[in-house]
């Protein structure tokens, strides 16, 4: 298996825990072919700051936790899996899966 990483947003995790059949969840499917990932550091904080400034300038600000999640994906050059596409699609340079 190729070393593929993906950042999992909380909506995917919540969906997994709510399902009776865990094998039908997106989290289960993603975990079969990807390394699930989360890392926050000063570089991610800088990226988050840039994202917040850009969104504010466009008057399209989103929840700061979502900005941190997106920044983590961008700073680590990995895609983000979310069930909340509506907010995350506002962010440039973010690859959604």
Q: What's the rounded Cα separation, in Å, for the pair 57 and 68?
A: 18
**What value does the mean pLDDT take over residues 65-79?**
95
Tell me the CB-side half-sphere exposure of residue 24, using CA atoms within 13 A: 4
Comparing C-alpha atoms, which of 35, 41, 36 is closest to residue 71? 41
At residue 3, the pLDDT reads 66
Banded model confidence at residue 2, pLDDT cuts 50, 70, 90 = low
**What value does the mean pLDDT take over residues 55-81?**
95
At residue 39, the pLDDT reads 79
**What value does the mean pLDDT take over residues 63-72?**
95
pLDDT tens-digit series, residues 20-53? 999 999 999 999 988 887 878 999 999 999 999 9
Alpha helices in 1-97 (DSSP H): 10-18, 26-33, 42-57, 64-75, 85-88
Domains and CATH numbers, the chain: 5-88 (3.40.50.1010)
7-11, 34-38, 66-70 — which one is most confidently predicted on average? 66-70
């Amino acid at each position: 298996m190729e070393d593929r990483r993906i950042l999992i947003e909380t909506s995917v995790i919540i969906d997994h825990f709510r399902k009776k059949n865990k094998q039908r969840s997106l989290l289960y499917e993603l975990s079969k072919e990807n390394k699930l990932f989360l890392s926050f550091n000063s570089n991610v904080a800088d990226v988050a700051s840039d994202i917040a400034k850009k969104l504010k300038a466009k008057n399209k600000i989103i929840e700061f936790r979502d900005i941190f999640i997106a920044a983590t994906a961008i700073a680590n050059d990995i895609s983000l899996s979310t069930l909340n596409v509506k907010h995350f699609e506002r962010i440039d340079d973010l690859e959604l899966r």
